[in-house]
């Protein structure tokens, strides 16, 4: 089970630059570690994360073994219309996650 926390302002003015934050619970296995029996632990990172605002892609991150566990990302976009901010991501093991939040333009 993947847990994520996202923070998107619920209200904004048209044309305002809004801050978006997301934190995902994920071990981000580098692929360089061995388990107690000396076997390699396969690489498993959140390889691809996309944020869509009303269907249009506004942010994309491709993360690899250099990103620490439980990645935290913060970025900005210009709020234009009321709608949904949707995150979706997939890790190397194929496990998918998603989160969304509504934003209202005053």
Partner 1 sequence: MHLLWCCVALVSITAHTAEPRRPDPLKSGIEFSSAEVRALQQDDFSSPAMLWATRGEKLWNEPAGAGNKSCASCHQDARASMKGVSARYPKVDPGTARLTNIEGRINLCRTQNQQAPALRYESDELLALTAYIGMQSRGMPVNAVIEPQNRRNFERGRDIFYTRMGQINLACTHCHDRNFGRKLLNDTLSQGHGNPYPAYRLEWQTVGSLHRRLRACFFGVRAELPPAGSQDLLDLELFLAWRSQGLKVETPGVRK
Instruction: Give the footprint of partner 1 on residues 47-86 (CB under 8 A).
Output: 68-70, 72
Contact 13, 106 (CB under 8 A): yes
23 part of the interface to partner 1, by CB under 8 A: yes
Strand extents, DSSP E, 1-106: 4-7, 11-12, 17-24, 46-53, 56-61, 72-78, 83-91, 96-105
- How near is the Cβ of 24 to partner 1 at its closest, in Å? 8
21 part of the interface to partner 1, by CB under 8 A: yes
Catalog residues that contact partner 1 under the rule CB under 8 A.
Answer: 1, 3-5, 7, 21, 23-25, 27-28, 68-70, 72
């Amino acid at each position: 089970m993947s847990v994520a926390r996202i923070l998107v302002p619920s209200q904004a003015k048209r044309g305002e630059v809004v801050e978006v934050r997301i934190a995902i619970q994920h071990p981000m296995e580098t692929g360089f570690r061995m388990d107690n029996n000396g076997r390699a632990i396969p690489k498993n990172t959140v390889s691809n994360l996309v944020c869509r605002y009303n269907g249009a892609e506004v942010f994309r991150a491709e993360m690899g073994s250099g990103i620490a566990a439980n990645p935290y990302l913060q970025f900005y976009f210009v709020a234009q219309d009321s709608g949904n901010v949707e995150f979706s991501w997939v890790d190397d093991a194929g496990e998918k996650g998603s989160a969304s939040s509504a934003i209202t333009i005053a």
